[in-house]
Amino acid sequence: MSEKTITAFARQFGLSRATLLYYDKIGLLSPKTTNQAGYRLYGVDEEKRMERVCLYRQAGLSLEDIKSLLDQNCDTALHQALEDQLRQTSQQLAALKARQRLIMDLLGRPETQMTVNQWVKMLEEAGVDEAGRKLWHQAFERDAPQEHEAFLYGLGLDQTEIDAIRARSQ
Amino acid sequence: MSEKTITAFARQFGLSRATLLYYDKIGLLSPKTTNQAGYRLYGVDEEKRMERVCLYRQAGLSLEDIKSLLDQNCDTALHQALEDQLRQTSQQLAALKARQRLIMDLLGRPETQMTVNQWVKMLEEAGVDEAGRKLWHQAFERDAPQEHEAFLYGLGLDQTEIDAIRARSQ
DNA sequence: GCGACTGTCACGAAGCGTTATTGTCA
DNA sequence: TTGACAATAACGCTTCGTGACAGTCG
């Protein structure tokens, strides 16, 4: 049999035995079969379920959400949960970036943000002139408009300037 | 007098009464003076200390760390703590970005992330060839090494590749 | 005397980690 | 008998939120 006892199974997924005990207790992953001594036996079904659990955990879903998603097996609910998580993650990202900037300030670090001038200078060193930059913006806007905007925003430009550049790049 | 009772002081900093009670209990912010009835009175000194507490909290330091930093009043310790926090924050940022990407994958969203190939293509449209790219990386590494690393990371390269490129750009 | 406020406990939550004690297998 | 492993149960961690109950202020 390929059935494993709890510690072996835990190690397979980089978890601790205590974690699996907890997952069993909350009904997230309860092995169907046990030893005659009461030992939990984890087989193929548990492995499959566990893979999804780990995946959704990495995506940041709570154990409770994962449990109900796996038990319902409903695609739209999953989709919704992931959308929510994505929004939440984006907010956390923004907050963390703000925190990073604050710490930099407190440390008296020069702002490490790139400036437009630095970019222009770097491109010039690579042999790109005014006309080349225009071609570059055009390609950027055509192939990845959202990233283009994010890039310009990251250079510290305000929305008006960004819109102007993007308009010129059509 | 400008001394405030606990709830007024809490609201001034956007905190709750319970939070200030807690801060008092752990010795992070204990008002020197009290009413004859035992009411806590928060004055100018408390206000100053509280401002620093809030600042360091925003920077992500633990209450315990903040307490010892404020009590020691040691600049090098503060600097060290902030450096540590900065490193930790950067790691969290990286983890969150990875999570975001995973969720995107699970949602079947088109990768909004730029790829190396897209960049190369865009640079080529702007007239930059292999040699130009090398000059560009050199300028990037020379003028803004940290941003260079972050940029490469943002393209989805792993640490090995990033280190290789940076080494070649010396 | 009434409502808004204060005081001091004390429990709860997330997601396990970490003992402690006892039972089972080779 | 001896380790290595299994079981359950329960406390610990972090930063407060949320009552409960009684005293105080205006």
> Average pLDDT over chain B, rounded to whole?
86
pLDDT of residue B7: 93
Q: Can you tell me whether residue B130 is helix, strand or coil?
A: helix
Interface of B with A (CB under 8 A): 55, 58-60, 79, 82-83, 85-86, 89-90, 92-93, 96-97, 99-100, 102-104, 106-107, 112-114, 118, 121-123, 125-128, 132-133, 135-136, 138-140, 143-144, 146-147
Q: Is the pLDDT of residue B111 over 70?
A: no
Distances (CA, A) of A39 to A12, A101, A154, B134: 18, 51, 55, 60
Highest mean pLDDT among A88-92, A163-167, B63-67, B131-135: B63-67
Most confident of the ranges A65-74, A155-164, B35-44:
B35-44
pLDDT, residue A40, reads 92
Whether the per-residue pLDDT at B97 is higher than 90: the answer is no
Separation between Cα atoms, residue A123 and residue B140, nearest integer Å: 9
Write the residue in A82, A113, A147 that is nearest to B112 by C-beta.
A147
- Range ranked top by mean pLDDT from B2-16, B105-119, B126-140: B2-16
Binary contact (A103, B89; C-beta < 8 A): yes
Asked if pLDDT for residue B49 goes beyond 80, the answer is yes
More confident position, B47 or B168? B47
Residue A152: closest CA among A102, A116, A124: A116
pLDDT at A111: 65
The pLDDT value given to residue B112: 62
B115-124, Cβ contacts within 8 angstroms, sequence gap of 24 or more? B115/B155, B115/B156, B116/B155, B116/B156, B116/B157, B118/A143, B118/A144, B119/B155, B121/A139, B121/A143, B122/A136, B122/A139, B122/A140, B122/A143, B123/A126, B123/A128, B123/A136
Band of pLDDT at residue B23, cut at 50, 70 and 90? very high
pLDDT at A155 over 90: no
Bridge-based pairing state of the strands B40-41 and A33-34: unpaired
Any idea what DSSP says for residue B4?
B
**Amino acid identity at A99:** R
pTM of the predicted model as reported, rounded to 2 decimal places: 0.76
Report which of B77, B61, B81 is spatially closest to residue A99, judged by C-alpha positions.
Answer: B61
Query: How many residue contacts between A and B have a Cβ separation below 8 Å?
Result: 124
Mean pLDDT of A88-93: 86
